């Protein structure tokens, strides 16, 4: 009897619980507000702090422990960069976030069951295509593979300004110019988001240095911030509506970007109308409650102490509940858009073959031919003497979160053979043995190696090998390789500048091959700018191949053979020497002593530091062209196997009203089919504000023009393109006066100019 009574009671209790469960609303895209009301305070805080990060191979205790409850929940996709909390009782799933810019990045170092992704070319190469269709295709690869692996958000595109050639992450970024960076970022974003996968545009903002990156205070004028460092984000936000944005590690003028109300709530949301979610960079910032209050919705990857700080803030009133609710709302609005929420049945088998073929095509479109003294394209079936470690062990991309676990990489030796060329065999075996033995010294991959790129010293070439090569081959090709990555900046010696061994080999090749009337071609396999002026005379042709992804060797061979006519152009200035760079004095900033009680982070030993952007708005070509400082190769430069003619510019009016259209016709006047990148620069009057001599305000890549074929291109200029930021008025102003439109093949190779007039100062919204 007693037992029967108990059973009835339990049954009643169960019924009540399941009735309650049934009554709990389940998240859908129309009931976000109702869900917020149903969330407890703890649950709200969980939603704004990620689930932590577990990296196999990381030393015990190195990463903050996860909430023990979270550890019980297996990740949907192991080895990715982060995930958000689920609240199952309200139908809120956990969503998965993964890097990155050059392909979907899994940090599964156990490699028990590696997940391969297509390693597309690095960001700088993508931008060097100056082609929004091509870069959208790159985004589509990332979006498709993320979707095939069940990933909701890809942590890309990354497009901080390449302020200084030594920036360790320049390879991930696009350009020294904000207009080009923002336009390419929008194209990549559109490519990814078209697949129903979100992006996180990053790192917002002024994150242009890796040294002491987590505590570096960037001191920058409001005008430079607006015109140079924020502009690209403004363009990307307005043109592509990114689902999320990632704030950066650094401080700007004394405030962590992740804790800056001005940056996030005022500029990004209010002025630009950004509707998405803002997340922090991994382990960034100082105070999670302040960060949330500033509008940074999600702390990533999330730590228990951040959970506590936000909870305390909400309880003691220092964090307004309205702020917490707004952030929760943005998290939920993001969740409902994801493939996880939509229960997408992912295959885990991306079409890596099809994507590799697209990656190869993009790679060859972004390579830049810098010099060609009748050396390229190579004669069919030439025998090539191939030099340089990187010819046999290509550097497909940079290191850190922008790295990719790839199934294979095609080195240049393979690419050339695939294209029907013959290689000088002894040469190949000497290098292959060297590369193999050096690679064997590579330490077993560990967590720390993510931040310590392994680099093989260039082999010193014996004279006999050169003599033998000259005798047995038609042409010499040497590849100069460079690697760089997250958390470290590059150095001038033996990195920006060539090493003695590299210079020695180049000089010997030049003397020996030229003595027999044979050509020497240099391929640069690097993520960024290097010194060229002191050695370029030794080379008959120089190809900037960047870090071209896993199909790199095939793509380089496509250019060298003439299968693809080179059409990439430089997105950053190549100075004659490092000291010519305007930021060379201030980079990478001044390290400050540790504060009392402050300890160094064991993963990334980061000191407090400070950097002053004394170059102000005069970054890259804005400095070199305005001050007429000689460069090795100017911004926008790149050669083709054909030539182009530019017609005169037609303007829709010579008086600017609401907008103006400039039209020009480009004709392939050479004998080979090719594409031209047409660049529009604007020279603005400078009555009140100083202006650079010209600024990029438009660009277009023609279709493949057959010999003799033409294409007409139009550019629209609106008041926004005419305006500069006047800090005294906190406004964008287009000054009255004479404007000159310069259209050309580079920032210095201007082919046509036309002027128009603006009657009155215009304040631009």
- Site residues (vs ligand BGC, CB under 6 A): 81, 99-100, 155, 202, 281-282, 401
The DSSP call for residue 495 is I
Q: How far is the CB of 107 from ligand BGC (least distance, A)?
A: 8
Cβ distance to ligand BGC smaller for residue 81 or 212: 81
Prior bond of 40 cis (ω within 30°): no
Cβ distance to ligand BGC smaller for residue 80 or 693: 80
Virtual torsion, Cα 718, 723, 725, 728, nearest 10 deg? -120
Alpha-carbon distance values, 395 to 286, 352, 566 (Å):
36, 19, 20
Is the Cβ–Cβ distance between 398 and 454 less than 8 Å? no
Q: For strand 660-668 and strand 644-646, is the pairing parallel, antiparallel, or unpaired?
A: antiparallel
Cβ distance to ligand BGC smaller for residue 210 or 558: 210
Q: How far is the CB of 32 from ligand BGC (least distance, A)?
A: 26
Is the Cβ–Cβ distance between 619 and 161 less than 8 Å? yes
Q: One of 177, 281, 393, 495 is an active-site residue; which one?
A: 281
Cβ distance to ligand BGC smaller for residue 130 or 282: 282
> Taking the CB of residue 340, how many other CB atoms lie within 10 A of it?
21
Q: How far is the CB of 151 from ligand BGC (least distance, A)?
A: 13
The closest of 351, 363, 378 to 554, measured between CA atoms, is 363
Q: How far is the CB of 257 from ligand BGC (least distance, A)?
A: 12
Cβ distance to ligand BGC smaller for residue 601 or 749: 601
Cβ distance to ligand BGC smaller for residue 48 or 53: 53
Q: How far is the CB of 624 from ligand BGC (least distance, A)?
A: 29
Q: How far is the CB of 551 from ligand BGC (least distance, A)?
A: 24
Q: How far is it, in rounded angstroms, from Cα 662 to Cα 649?
A: 6
Cβ distance to ligand BGC smaller for residue 452 or 753: 452
Q: Which three-class secondary structure state does DSSP give residue 716?
A: strand
Q: Which helix (H) or strand (E) holds 623?
A: helix 621-624
> Taking the CB of residue 325, how many other CB atoms lie within 10 A of it?
16
Q: Which three-class secondary structure state does DSSP give residue 547?
A: coil
Cβ distance to ligand BGC smaller for residue 401 or 479: 401
Helices (H) and strands (E) in the chain, counts: 22, 30
Q: How far is the CB of 266 from ligand BGC (least distance, A)?
A: 24
Q: How far is the CB of 371 from ligand BGC (least distance, A)?
A: 34
- Residue that is written with structure tokens 């988001």 in the block: 193
> Taking the CB of residue 535, how many other CB atoms lie within 10 A of it?
19
Write the DSSP string, 464-511.
HHHHHHHHH-SEEEEEEE---BTT----IIIIISPPHHHHHHHHHHHH
Q: How far is it, in rounded angstroms, from Cα 657 to Cα 655?
A: 6
Residue 393 annotated to the active site: no
Cβ distance to ligand BGC smaller for residue 190 or 244: 244
Cβ distance to ligand BGC smaller for residue 98 or 469: 98
Alpha-carbon distance values, 316 to 40, 77, 297, 308, 322 (Å):
16, 37, 19, 12, 14
Q: How far is the CB of 58 from ligand BGC (least distance, A)?
A: 13
Q: Which three-class secondary structure state does DSSP give residue 277?
A: strand
Q: How far is the CB of 433 from ligand BGC (least distance, A)?
A: 36
Q: What angle do CA 644, 700, 203 make, to 5 degrees?
A: 135
The closest of 746, 654, 656, 757 to 694, measured between CA atoms, is 746
Helices (H), 24-153: 32-38, 41-47, 68-71, 123-128, 132-148
- Residue that is written with structure tokens 């850190």 in the block: 400
Q: How far is it, in rounded angstroms, from Cα 269 to Cα 112?
A: 43
Residues 6+ away with beta carbon under 8 Å from 283: 214, 301, 303
Strand partners, 742: 681, 753
Is the Cβ–Cβ distance between 188 and 242 less than 8 Å? no
Q: Which residues are catalytic?
A: 281
């Amino acid at each position: 009897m007693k037992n029967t009574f108990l059973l009835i009671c339990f049954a009643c209790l169960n019924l009540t619980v399941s009735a309650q469960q049934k009554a709990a609303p389940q998240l859908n895209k129309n009931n976000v507000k109702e869900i917020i009301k149903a969330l407890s305070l703890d649950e709200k805080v969980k939603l704004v702090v990620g689930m932590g990060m577990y990296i196999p191979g990381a030393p015990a205790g190195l990463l903050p422990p996860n909430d023990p409850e979270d550890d019980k929940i297996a990740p949907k996709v192991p080895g990715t960069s982060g995930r958000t909390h689920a609240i199952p009782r309200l139908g809120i799933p956990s969503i998965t976030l993964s890097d990155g810019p050059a392909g979907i990045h899994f940090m599964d170092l156990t490699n028990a069951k590696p997940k391969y992704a297509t390693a597309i070319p690095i960001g700088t190469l993508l931008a060097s295509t100056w082609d929004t269709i091509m870069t959208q295709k790159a985004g589509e690869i990332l979006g498709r593979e993320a979707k095939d692996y069940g990933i909701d958000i890809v942590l890309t595109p990354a497009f901080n300004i390449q302020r200084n050639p030594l920036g360790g992450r320049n390879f991930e970024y696009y350009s020294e110019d904000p207009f080009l960076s923002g336009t390419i970022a929008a194209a990549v974003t559109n490519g990814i988001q078209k697949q129903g996968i979100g992006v996180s545009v990053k790192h917002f903002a002024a994150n242009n240095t890796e040294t002491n990156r987590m505590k570096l205070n960037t001191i920058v004028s409001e005008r430079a911030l607006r015109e140079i460092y924020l502009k690209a984000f403004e363009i990307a936000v307005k043109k592509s509506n990114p689902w999320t944005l990632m704030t950066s590690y650094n401080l700007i003028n004394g405030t962590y970007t992740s804790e800056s109300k001005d940056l996030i709530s005022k500029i990004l949301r209010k002025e630009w109308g950004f509707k998405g979610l803002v997340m922090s960079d991994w382990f960034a910032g100082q105070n999670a409650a302040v960060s949330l209050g500033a509008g940074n919705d999600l702390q990533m990857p999330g730590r228990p102490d951040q959970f506590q700080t936000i909870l305390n803030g909400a309880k003691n009133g220092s964090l307004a509940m309205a702020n917490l609710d707004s952030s929760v709302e943005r998290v939920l609005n993001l969740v409902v858009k994801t493939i996880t929420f939509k229960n997408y049945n992912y295959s885990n088998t991306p079409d890596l073959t099809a994507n590799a073929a697209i990656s190869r095509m993009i790679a060859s479109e972004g390579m830049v031919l810098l010099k060609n003294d009748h050396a390229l394209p190579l004669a069919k079936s030439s025998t090539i003497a191939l030099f340089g470690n990187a010819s046999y062990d290509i550097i497909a991309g940079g290191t850190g979160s922008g790295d990719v676990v790839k199934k294979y990489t095609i080195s240049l030796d393979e690419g050339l053979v695939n294209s029907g060329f013959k290689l000088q065999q002894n040469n190949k075996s000497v290098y292959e043995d060297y590369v193999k033995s050096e690679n064997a010294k590579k330490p077993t991959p560990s967590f720390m190696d993510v931040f310590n790129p392994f680099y093989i010293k260039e082999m010193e070439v014996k004279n006999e090998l050169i003599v033998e090569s000259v005798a047995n081959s038609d042409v010499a090709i040497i590849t100069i390789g460079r690697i760089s990555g997250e958390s470290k900046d590059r150095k001038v010696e033996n990195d920006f500048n060539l090493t003695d061994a590299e210079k020695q080999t180049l000089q010997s090749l030049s003397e020996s091959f030229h003595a027999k009337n044979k050509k020497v071609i240099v391929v640069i396999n690097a993520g960024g700018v290097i010194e060229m002026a002191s050695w370029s005379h030794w080379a008959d042709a120089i190809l900037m191949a960047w870090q071209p992804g896993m199909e790199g060797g095939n793509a380089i061979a496509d250019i060298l053979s003439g299968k693809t006519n080179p059409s990439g152009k430089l997105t950053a200035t190549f100075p004659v020497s490092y000291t010519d760079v305007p930021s060379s004095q201030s980079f990478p900033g001044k390290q400050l002593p540790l504060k009392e009680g402050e300890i160094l982070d064991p993963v990334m030993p980061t000191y407090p530091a400070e950097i002053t952007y004394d170059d102000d708005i005069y970054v890259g070509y804005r400095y070199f062209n305005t001050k007429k400082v000689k460069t090795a190769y100017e911004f926008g430069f790149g050669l083709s196997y054909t030539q182009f003619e530019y017609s005169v510019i037609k303007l829709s009016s010579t008086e600017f009203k609401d907008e103006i259209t400039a039209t020009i016709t480009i004709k392939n006047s050479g004998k080979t089919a090719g594409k031209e990148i047409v660049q529009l620069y604007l020279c603005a009057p400078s009555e009140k504000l100083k202006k650079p001599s010209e600024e990029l305000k438009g660009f277009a890549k023609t279709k493949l023009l057959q010999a003799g074929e033409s294409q007409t291109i139009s550019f629209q200029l609106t008041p926004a393109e005419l305006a500069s930021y006047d800090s005294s008025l906190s406004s964008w102003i287009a000054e009255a006066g004479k404007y000159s439109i310069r259209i050309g093949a580079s920032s210095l190779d201007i082919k046509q100019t036309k002027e128009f007039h603006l009657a009155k100062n215009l304040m631009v919204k």
